[in-house]
Chain A
């Protein structure tokens, strides 16, 4: 167990962190295993609250994908336990996106909870992650290249123009800075989830090799345990030479298979995890079952990068969006569904021309889920459901694009159809407004001279 804050050296033999939720707010944490985790009296309580899995809409429109109630509920459980034990609580990627408004929201929630529960005064640290679009443009005009990840070309000004909001992915640095200032609670902007846990370990002087692995294994809470069951608390313990991870739920275990298997989850390569400032290399990891519910991992290696690069995420709004839905049962019409869609597309084209809008058809029962990857797309089912999406600069135009694209399927003229009173079935004779159509624009990296350059930190107080 640890004493006070000691920078730069391992004054303690081990450090223990619990993680109750792999994506705080997206679904509520499970209370039973969380209380069992708290009863172990960990040194930190930490969780990440973000994911780019929620798609580009929240970042482009500055909203959360998670309901406020669920965010508040998990923050309340964690804050009360943190104050009860007198240990720090750390949250990364506030409100799904880690945008500035989401950080402010979480800071406000923590403050309100402190008042609600009459908590004693504590130090509340937070940092932002948003990157100003025009500042980035100036750097590009000054000759800086912003290279793309995963097949993206380098960032262009036109892609920047299409971008509504950009966040940078923090590493351990702003968390460590705030811990150094004595923060009792940290609310983070967009962060690599593993760094939420690696930061306190590094702050207490544990080797980066072990610290980043600790983060990697804890980031998704019980996804590193078996049997499968999300949102249950897990406990990670770091020493100078190893990381041990233990499932808190009575029916779950962290096994060699579940922990090694977790290294694969949501990543293209199971051996490497890239974060701001370096790469965690897990290719020489050894896994060992040391107790019924506990697996020990040794051999992880952190390799600092030659150049400090930070990942940028950006999203932009394409337009307003409406959706419509139709069904088809006639086998002849099913066999000719592309002609039915073609007919409706033509009618939209007659009204609005070739461009300035998007019209998408998803044909469930044929290749709705997999699209071009579907091996069985030439064997459609006996009935189809078709989802129609109309996207345009204004809501009125999007509605009309979608309505023509949906309703005109009813009037499609197929040469040999027997049913001449309507080519599709409507469950709803209308189209419905959906979330704005957005897209990811940035998946790039930016070189930084100072690891804190993009992540301004702030310290305030809450409670008492």
Chain B
């Protein structure tokens, strides 16, 4: 099946602290139909995020499909609060990269 990478479909893919104990991830689409298509494809769910980041389901603090923003958003617990010695990403700003390459199958009807 033909696929596209999430980085080709999403307008914004980012990560950022949400307070000192959480990192939140936003995948935002410019068009409603692209957003709906990625939702339908089931490639971004609690389960796929756990597999991608190799974490247990208890690390996911929240997972929201945010229709008003055409966005899929999830939040994970840090193991230690931000800025503890050894924390390499105090702002949590560079944790999204693995999402870029998530493969999204093309719908029968639509291209990218």
Residues of chain A having any CB pair with chain B under 8 Å: 52-57, 149-152, 257, 260-261, 263-271, 285, 287, 313, 318, 321, 358, 360, 362, 368-373, 375, 387, 389, 391, 437-440, 443
Contact = CB atoms under 8 A, between A and B. Distances in A.
A266 B92 CA distance: 10
A358 B68 contact: no
Contacts of B28: 257, 261, 264
Closest 4 A/B residue pairs (Cβ): A55-B83, A360-B86, A268-B75, A440-B81
A439 B77 contact: no
A220 to B, nearest CB: 11
A370 B86 contact: no
Interface in B69-92: 69-71, 73, 75, 77, 79-86, 88-91
Contacts of A151: 21, 61, 77
Contacts of B68: 260, 263, 270, 285, 287
A147 to B, nearest CB: 14
B19 A370 contact: no
Interface of B: 12, 16-22, 24, 26, 28, 30, 52-55, 61-62, 64, 66, 68-71, 73, 75, 77, 79-86, 88-91, 94-95, 97-98
A52 B20 contact: yes
B81 A375 contact: no
Most chain A beta carbons < 10 A, residue from B21, B80, B94: B21
Contact of A362 (B19, B69, B86): B86
19 contacts: A52-B17, A55-B90, A56-B82, A150-B22, A150-B61, A150-B77, A151-B61, A151-B77, A257-B69, A261-B26, A261-B69, A266-B16, A268-B62, A268-B75, A271-B64, A362-B88, A375-B54, A439-B84, A440-B21
A362 B84 CA distance: 13
A10 to B, nearest CB: 27
Nearest to A150: B21
Nearest to A311: B19
A268 B24 contact: yes
B98 A375 contact: yes
Contacts of B86: 358, 360, 362, 389
Nearest to A60: B83
Contacts of A321: 85
Contacts of B61: 150-151, 268
Nearest to B96: A370
A370 B97 CA distance: 9
Contact of B73 (A270, A313, A373, A437): A270
A369 B88 CA distance: 6
Contacts, number: 134
Given A151-B21, A285-B68, A264 B88 contact: no
A375 B88 contact: no
B30 A360 contact: no
A54 B93 CA distance: 12
A53 B21 CA distance: 11
Contact of B80 (A263, A391, A439): A439
Given A362-B86, A439-B85, 15 more contacts: A52-B19, A56-B20, A56-B83, A257-B28, A263-B66, A264-B28, A265-B26, A268-B61, A270-B71, A270-B73, A318-B85, A373-B55, A375-B53, A389-B86, A443-B81
A271 B65 CA distance: 11
A219 to B, nearest CB: 14
A389 B95 CA distance: 21
A437 B85 contact: yes
A457 B92 CA distance: 35
Given A55-B83, A318-B85, A152 B24 contact: no
Contacts of A443: 19-21, 81
Interface centre among A149, A257, A268 (most CB of B within 10 A): A268
A358 B16 CA distance: 26
Contacts of A152: 21
Contact of A269 (B21, B54, B64): B64
Contact of B66 (A270, A362, A391): A270
Nearest to A371: B88
B85 A369 contact: no
Nearest to A358: B85
Nearest to B53: A373
Nearest to B62: A268
A440 B64 contact: no
A266 B53 CA distance: 20
